Amino acid sequence: MSIVPKETIHVIAQSIGISNLHDDVAAALAPDVEYRMREIMQEAIKCMRHSKRSVLTTDDVNTALSLRNVEPLYGFASGDPLRFRRAVGHSDLFFIDDRELDCKEITEAPLTKAPLDTAVMAHWLAIEGIQPAIPENVPIDPLSAPPEVKKSDIPGLKPDQMTVDLKLPVKHVLSRELQLYFEKITELIVTGADDVLLKDVFASLATDSGLHPLVPYFTQFIADEVTRGLNDLPLLFSLMRVARSLLLNPHIHIEPYLHQLMPSVVTCLVAKRLGGKNFVNHWELRDFTATLIAFICKRFGHAYYNLQTRVTKTLLHAFLDPKRAMTQHYGAVKGIAALGSKLVRLLILPNLEVYINLLLPEMSSQDQANELKRYEAIRVYGALQAAAGNCIYEMLQSAPPSKKKPANNKSQSTTRKDVDGDASMHEEDGADDKDEGVKRRRRALSEAWKEDVEVGDLINSLVDLFGEGMLPFIPMREMSKCIL
Amino acid sequence: DNEAGRYKESYSKLRNWVHSSLDLYKTELLRILYPVFVHCYMELVAKGFAQEAREFFQSFRDDHQPQHIRDLQKLEGVITPQHLQENETACTLQENKVHVKMCQYSFELLLQYLQSTESMLMLGIVNSHINLKAVLPGQPAALVDDDESSSLPAKVQAVVEATNQKEIHWGILEGSLEDKFEKQIAAELEKADADKDAETDEAKKRAADGKVKRVKRDKAGKGLKAEPAARSVPRLKPELTMPLLTDDFERQALDDLRNRVKLGSTALPSVSCYTFVNTNNSLNCASISADGAYLAGGFSDSAIKLWDMVKMGEPSMYSDAGKQSLNKRPTSIRHYIRLVGHAGPVYGVDFSPEGDSLLSASGDCTIRLWSTRLNANLACYKGHNYPVWDVQYSPVGHYFASASYDRTARVWSMDRLQPLRIMAGHLSDVDCVQWHVNCNYIATGSSDKTVRLWDVQTGECVRIFTGHRSMIVSIAMSPDGLFMASGDEDGAIMMWDLASSRCVTPLLGHTGCVWSLAFSGEGSILASGSADNTVRLWDVNGSSKVTADKTRRLRLLKTLPTKSTPIYTLRFSRRNLLFVAGAFSPSKGH
């Protein structure tokens, strides 16, 4: 009935020397004990409130007891949390674990450090209602960063002017703390600290206010280290994370330094060789960098209107140049895919057929003896599939296909298995029909960028190119609307 | 069959009936559930059905949790008939009938239900403990009465209504600094006008550059003129003998008022934050002197620590004192003076308006007066029998008021060791106290969830403000004497119109106790400091407009978060710089 079980009353009675307490007495006392305890706790909470705390301490309980003219409980003055132990043999009886201390040990122990004395610090919480970005204040809410300021920064600063500006021997006033911070961070990045520490580093870079003076140094650092450490994959990864953290930091106006940052980032996406030795997992780095580039374009596209066009131009060049290595193609495809389905439709799909035809020999074991190169080609193939699938998915999401079905799509989707047998394939329901369909689909691919393109046609042509392996890349529900 | 079972049965029937009634009448009928629930529980306890009472309580507790959590917590432990007689909450509930207002139709519905189901238990409870008031035969929608009235005991409500009829004089004091300041400005304006007249004659002869000058002066003159005209606050003769101010202090204060920054919704104040570090949770209270030069903290180890912020440089308000620290290396950590004398935790400290003395209230039932010049204890005021929670100087100094656990507030003067007045009437602890600007009234906030206004001269209670849902922890008075703000444990702030004793608006936003409230010098901004580590600035806009249109704009202007520093106190300087102070208490990692 009561929170305090009568066993507790028995135990307390025994502890003060009453061994033969009657069960009824214990049962009658239990609810009253509970009531008194609640009363004391309420008084204690009152004391806690007047001490302007939100944590109840043993002191509060003692003050409450003295308010009720009860002798306080001695021996609970230490700030350590009490250790409760379960009594053996009882399921819900607890006692405090009191350790025996040896006085000699205590007296002979070296003196502990004196606790720091109370002190007062003063700082500006706000100046005319605006919180200054100083370490004493909470990092400002990212939403409150005024976008107007950023914009006004950009127009005057053309990239080439900026480099000139930076190279002038301007004496920067960099506080000692910031210098130390920079040195520490760069050291950690270069030497490759453990993951936990690095995580903290990135978190600090992404949230701390007042890092702005360090931005030029960090961009320079990233540029230098990327060119120096192309063979060091963990380093490159860390550097890209640094770049990402800086971009995420709401207190930094990184736009003037983007031009310096971009080449390094693009390098990490479409470099021929990243991480030196073969079979290093540089794919992951490329994937990460691709999302990073997409993030930059999305966030700063409005300020740097030609940012995205320049990036896509670089990527497209890499993609369309058959002399480039497969790794570069992979990076380019990933980069374009990350920038959105519009660009995939505009840049990849129209070139897809030609490209696949070039890619297929690289993939087959007869034509390409080099195991590694074949693997690379397969990665590119996969990237293309994913890009196309995603693109279709988004198209279906935004505009469901019209009801009109291509006449022969059912047979195609079920019978077409051979990838490269496109033209040579003969079907029972008539070659004319099929030829017409092929043309139509080719047209669909090359005109994929148009707004009114038929999604069903696109899908069919993709299935033509990729085979049924394409299907899992498109969610079933959407596809069922237009294929089945 | 058994009696105890019938309580639960009939209550749950009533509850089901109310919940299944028409939405139109449901809100009204719901009001009856809490009093019935509480009385069912108490009757069960009184009849000795401890087990059943506990079961009953647990099964319906959640219904009333959001609104009445604190009362429920207090009642929860009541299990034996003896507890019923001891428990404060239970006693008030038993002694007083509860007022429940509802429209005629709901009233009839309820009666019909109670009679038709022959639930004599419920009928009995309603009869003996609830004062059903069938107001208006009209629609229930017409009743826009707030629901807190339902939980207020009838007797208390009657007292409240009677008390709030009394007349109060809310004007500001004749001869106060504000008054003198305005007079001075008016005098200067006259003089300027006279000068101008003289000048105009000359100006006719002079060239155009003179004109420009005059236009400028004109503008300045108008700006100053507009201010006193806008506030038509009546002046009052003081009822208490007022202490004389030293000339130096008066000159300086007037100078400060002249240099006061004008604040408003577009011009927010600068905020200077004093953070206590390494307090180990032992800081109980803090106070900042009117010019921000001194900072005092009251600690739970019964010491008071006093920091002279000027001596250490940085925010130097006095230029001459700042010189000493110029050649020293600026350090942000300051040394303090330790004032020892109390024998219990210090719960409240307050600086005199001139900053030369300090009062402290302690758990040892005494109030002590300290000199900040001599750093010594000057007097010890004994009178309270229980811990003193709060102490506040009057706006003119000399007089002060204290609030205590013994449910009284007392008014003292510095030269007498006995209190001048004892204000008794609160039903629970008096937790905080604040003077009205004209020194004729004090306001007290209590754990009984009310704020009361007392006449200092007669010692009578002249206003009772009901509406808070939990203990009141801070009060502030607007400089024009018309309004009062009070903050409670849950983080709600209420603005009260003193004359009508109505709540103007609740200001919601804080999520922790509102430890401190302060109006800016001209009363356009209310600042609140809370346990949720924020300072909030509220727009309470020029009060003179209120009388014209009732739509007073009260809104949150700005939230200033600190780095895990709950704000214990805040104060506007005479120049409208906001000082806040709190103890840095980092949340420990788990």
The one-letter code for the residue type at A406 is P
- The pLDDT of residue A484 is 45
Domain count, chain B: 2
Phi, psi of A274, rounded to the nearest 5 degrees: -120, 130
The CA distance from A437 to A457, in Å, is 9
Residues of chain B positioned with their CB less than 8 A from the CB of A126: 268-271, 535, 558, 560
Q: Is A97 exposed, middle or buried (0-12, 13-18, 19+ CB in 10 A)?
A: exposed
Residue B290 within any structural domain of the chain: yes
pLDDT digits (tens, 9 = 90+) for A235-286: 888 888 888 888 888 888 888 888 888 888 888 888 877 776 666 677 888 8
Contact between B561 and A138 using a beta-carbon 8 Å cutoff? yes
**CATH of segment(s) A176-339:** 1.25.40.770
B128 or A281: which leads in pLDDT: B128
Q: Which of A50, A131, A200 to mutate to test the interface with B (most CBs of B within 10 A)?
A: A50
Residues of chain B positioned with their CB less than 8 A from the CB of A1: 50-51, 54, 79
Q: How confident is the model at residue B215 (pLDDT cuts 50, 70, 90)?
A: very low
C-alpha A119, offset from chain centre: 39
CATH number at residue B369: 2.40.10
Residues of each domain in chain A carrying CATH 1.10.20.10: 6-108
Show which of B324, B351, B378 is a domain's final residue: B378
Residues of chain B positioned with their CB less than 8 A from the CB of A68: none
Percent of chain B scored above 70 by pLDDT? 82
Residue B27 within any structural domain of the chain: yes
Distance from CA of A93 to the nearest CA of B (A): 21
Show which of B76, B111, B143 is a domain's final residue: B143
In terms of residue numbers, what domain contains B9?
A: 1-143
Identify whether the C-beta of residue A418 lies closer than 8 Å to the C-beta of residue A467. Answer: yes
CATH number at residue B75: 1.25.40.500
Identify whether the C-beta of residue A150 lies closer than 8 Å to the C-beta of residue A255. Answer: yes
Which residues, at least 6 apart from B517, have a Cβ–Cβ distance to it below 8 Å?
A: B474, B475, B476, B485, B486, B487, B493, B526, B527, B528, B529, B570
Distance from CA of A284 to the nearest CA of B (A): 34
pLDDT digits (tens, 9 = 90+) for B201-212: 655 555 445 444
The CA distance from B468 to A223, in Å, is 61
Tell me which CATH homologous superfamily contains domain A6-108. Answer: Histone, subunit A (1.10.20.10)
Show which of B88, B117, B143 is a domain's final residue: B143
Q: What's the predicted TM-score (pTM) here?
A: 0.62
Mean pLDDT is lowest, of A71-75, A277-281, B42-46, for A277-281
Identify whether the C-beta of residue B583 lies closer than 8 Å to the C-beta of residue B285. Answer: no
Residue B362: strand pairing partners: B346
The CA distance from B179 to B172, in Å, is 8
pLDDT digits (tens, 9 = 90+) for B426-457: 888 999 999 998 888 999 999 988 899 999 98
Q: How confident is the model at residue B315 (pLDDT cuts 50, 70, 90)?
A: very low
Mean confidence (pLDDT) of chain B: 80
Residues of each domain in chain A carrying CATH 1.25.40.770: 176-339
- pLDDT(B214) > 50: no
pLDDT digits (tens, 9 = 90+) for B255-313: 888 888 888 878 889 999 999 988 888 899 999 998 888 999 999 989 999 998 877 65
Nearest CA in chain A to B71: A42
Distance from CA of A44 to the nearest CA of B (A): 13
B193 or A295: which leads in pLDDT: A295
**Tokens found for residue B539:** 């727009």
Mean confidence (pLDDT) of chain A: 75
Q: Nearest by CB to A122, which of B79, B280, B314?
A: B314
Residues of chain B positioned with their CB less than 8 A from the CB of A127: 270-271
Distance from CA of A50 to the nearest CA of B (A): 6
- The pLDDT of residue B358 is 94
**Strands B450-455 vs B461-466: parallel, antiparallel or unpaired:** antiparallel
DSSP state of A207: H
Q: Nearest by CB to A52, which of B50, B405, B515?
A: B515
Across the range A100-122, mean pLDDT stands at 83
Identify whether the C-beta of residue A441 lies closer than 8 Å to the C-beta of residue A457. Answer: yes
Mean pLDDT is lowest, of A79-88, A308-317, B573-582, for A79-88
The CA distance from A10 to A27, in Å, is 10
Residue B483: strand pairing partners: B497
